[in-house]
Amino acid sequence: MYNTNVRGDFMDYKKRITDELLKTKLDAFGAALIVGPKGCGKTTTAKQISNTIIEFEDEDNRESLLKVAETMPSKLLKGEKPILFDEWQDAPKIWGAIRKSIDDTCDVGMYILTGSSSQEVDTPHTGTMRISRLKMLPMSLYESSESNGEVSLIDLFNDPNSFEGCISNLTIDDLIFAICRGGWPRSLNLKKDKVKLEIAKDLFIQTYSVDINKISNIKRNPQIAQAILRSYSRNICTLAETKTIYGDVAANYDISEPTYYSYIEDLNKLFIIDDIEPWCPAIRSKTAIRSSKKRNLIDPSIAVAAMGISPEYFDRDFKTLGFLFESLCIRDLKIYSQSFDGRVSYYRDRYGLEADCVLHLNDGRYALIEFKLGEHEIDDGAKHLCEIERLVSAYNRSEKQCKLRLPDLKIVITGTKYGYKRDDGVFVVPIGCLKN
């Protein structure tokens, strides 16, 4: 009824940062639920450590599997552990059976659940302390073997003096293609570059035409969903206000604000929208802090698909390329920081002082980061980071009780070839050299 021969030939499997995170979850909890956007590799990753696989969308066994899951789901829990339940949302009673099994045995590492993010499942129990949730993102440049990994983020935090420079193998054209293709595992197995670009395009179309209808079981207007994604894409990695994006859509479609917000909520549930939260230290007047979210998508390729552009387009539009490069870097930093329980935010005040990214570690250390595609922009980025550090120092001199920690690192991440440390203490690191 189900497949127990799961090891098979995984020679083509590219290791993911999620691999070790999943093992940690299973060491601590009875089950792990892997969530994330469609096509990011959830099932393939889960199969690497599963001893039994039950696939509810296997047409040869689907009818019988669903019948057992509906009438006596505990029968499906008898395979060799860990058991993977793929597309578990098709058999929601399996959730309660897993929860009871964990309570009865008090064991760990027994079950893995994966499934489409395009269908929300209402379960009678939350699974708290039993089924731990793990968010998976598309592949980073290091996971796709495009970054050479010469610079480890955590090593840079732990021993910044060990940095001796680095050299990236990625050209600007390579980065443009990676932005347009995205971090979708399926695209990497295709031979022709033109075909690789089709994966993100298809994901975009499926999102606005099919998936958004299923996630909350509400009939959505695909043209409105498409318009929202296009507006988001044009405003990617900016502080565009809600009224700006809503205005873009409302100019062409009859949509109320509450309805607009319900579309946004669904796109968040699908893990397509992935906004960046602000970092709001009181280093200046509180009224000077910009506290709105920075607009972003889970992968820059979705924005490229939404705008209907190709790699050749960027020969004449470097401004848009800069925003998409920032989105690519944010994606990779979110992936890398998962391995050390990090968190990504941004800083900007009303005076224009900014750090494109603030990478926080769970021990309180943090890095101020700017993203600059070209060499000529590095100086401006470094000046911003040094000015924020100066403001923190000035704040601490006047503040007696709640002093702020000085940044542990100042980094400009670039699309250039060479990495080095500047005289002002700022590290210049090509994205093509970075890893966790």
**Using one digit for the tens of pLDDT, what is the confidence trace for 117-150?**
766 776 766 678 899 999 999 999 999 999 999 9
Using DSSP bridges, classify how beta strands 343-348 and 434-435 pair: parallel, antiparallel or unpaired. unpaired
The pLDDT of 333-361, averaged and rounded, is: 94
C-beta of residue 412 within 8 angstroms of C-beta of residue 427: yes
* 303 band by pLDDT with thresholds 50, 70 and 90: very high
Q: Is the pLDDT of residue 5 over 50?
A: no
Query: For 130, how many CA atoms within 13 A lie in the half-sphere containing its CB?
Result: 16
Q: How far apart are CA 193 and CA 173, in angstroms?
A: 12
The pTM of this model reads: 0.94
C-beta of residue 113 within 8 angstroms of C-beta of residue 33: yes
Domains of the chain and CATH, by start: 17-135 (3.40.50.300), 151-435 (no CATH)
Nearest of 416, 406, 431, 231 to residue 330 by alpha carbon = 431
Q: What is the dihedral of CA 262, 266, 268, 273, to 10 degrees?
A: -90
C-beta of residue 415 within 8 angstroms of C-beta of residue 373: yes
Q: How far apart are CA 384 and CA 41, in angstroms?
A: 37
Q: Is the pLDDT of residue 30 over 70?
A: yes
The arrangement of strands across the sheet holding 409-414 comes to 166-167, 418-421, 427-430, 409-414, 366-372, 354-360, 343-348, 277-278
Q: What 3 state SS string does 10-34 have?
A: CCCCCCCHHHHHHHHHHHHCCEEEE
Q: How far apart are CA 229 and CA 361, in angstroms?
A: 31
Only one residue has tokens 């100019």, namely 251
Question: DSSP letter at 406?
Answer: P
The encoded tokens of residue 247 equal: 């205005």
Backbone angles phi, psi at 133, to 5 degrees: -90, 135
Q: Is the pLDDT of residue 8 over 50?
A: no
The pLDDT of 333-355, averaged and rounded, is: 93
* 415 band by pLDDT with thresholds 50, 70 and 90: very high
Which 3 state secondary structure label does DSSP give 358? strand
Q: Please tell me the predicted confidence (pLDDT) of residue 399.
A: 81
Percent share of the chain, pLDDT over 70: 94
Q: Please tell me the predicted confidence (pLDDT) of residue 9.
A: 43
C-beta of residue 191 within 8 angstroms of C-beta of residue 178: no
Mean pLDDT, the chain, rounded, equals 93
* 192 band by pLDDT with thresholds 50, 70 and 90: very high
Residue 84's DSSP bridge partners are 53, 112
Using DSSP bridges, classify how beta strands 427-430 and 31-35 pair: parallel, antiparallel or unpaired. unpaired
Q: How far apart are CA 302 and CA 296, in angstroms?
A: 10
Only one residue has tokens 């399926």, namely 186
Which 3 state secondary structure label does DSSP give 93? helix
* Stretch among 2-6, 117-121, 268-272, 322-326 having the lowest mean pLDDT: 2-6
